[in-house]
Amino acid sequence: MRLVLKAALVGSVLVFALPAVGQFAKPEDALKYRQSVMFLQSQHAGRINAQLKADKPNFQVIQENVAILDTVNKLFFDAFPANSEMLANTRAKSEVWTNPAKFKEGAERLNAEVARLAAAARTTDVAATRAAFGEVGKTCKGCHDEFRRE
């Protein structure tokens, strides 16, 4: 009985010390992963923006960067597992975990807006692509306002 209790206690201590963090070996990996993804998002959005500010945007460059965005955008949503909310240096607000449905809605909206941007970029219509990119930017900002600390 004593041994069983001891084993159970050791077991629960281990569970507490090594919490499940989704697909990540440790909570810090989840933070580093989502920061990595978001940095790539900002860089590739920046490259698209630079083209769209030019007089004659290079649509091949835009399309390549939209394709990269489309892949990396899909990575961040799963990088906020339970037990990764209390990390030092995270800018994620607790609302990510207390209102997961709304957070998911934002992630899905981003994917939809990037798909629209990809479609606009394929037409090589500058005004349409600028408008679609504007919607992507609004979606980023909307989520950041709600789920990210200053």
Distance, in Å, from the CA atom of 147 to the CA atom of 16, rounded to the nearest integer, reads 26
Q: Per-residue string for binding with its own copies, 87-116, x by CB under 8 A?
A: ------------------------------
35 makes contact with its own copies (CB under 8 A)? yes
Give the binding range for its own copies (CB under 8 A) out of 68-76, 102-110, 115-123, 142-150: 68-76
Between 2 and 53, CB nearer to its own copies: 53
Cβ 76 vs Cβ 25: under 8 Å: no
Residue 15 burial class via C-beta count within 10 angstroms: exposed 0-12, middle 13-18, buried 19 and up:
exposed
Q: What minimum distance in Å lies between the beta carbon of 64 and its own copies? A: 10
Distance, in Å, from the CA atom of 29 to the CA atom of 25, rounded to the nearest integer, reads 7
Residue 127 DSSP class: H
33 makes contact with its own copies (CB under 8 A)? yes
Candidates 23, 94, 123, 124: give the one binding its own copies (CB under 8 A).
23
Between 43 and 123, CB nearer to its own copies: 43
Q: Which residues have CB under 8 Å from 140's CB, separation 6+?
A: 41, 45, 110
Number of residues forming the site for its own copies (CB under 8 A) = 19
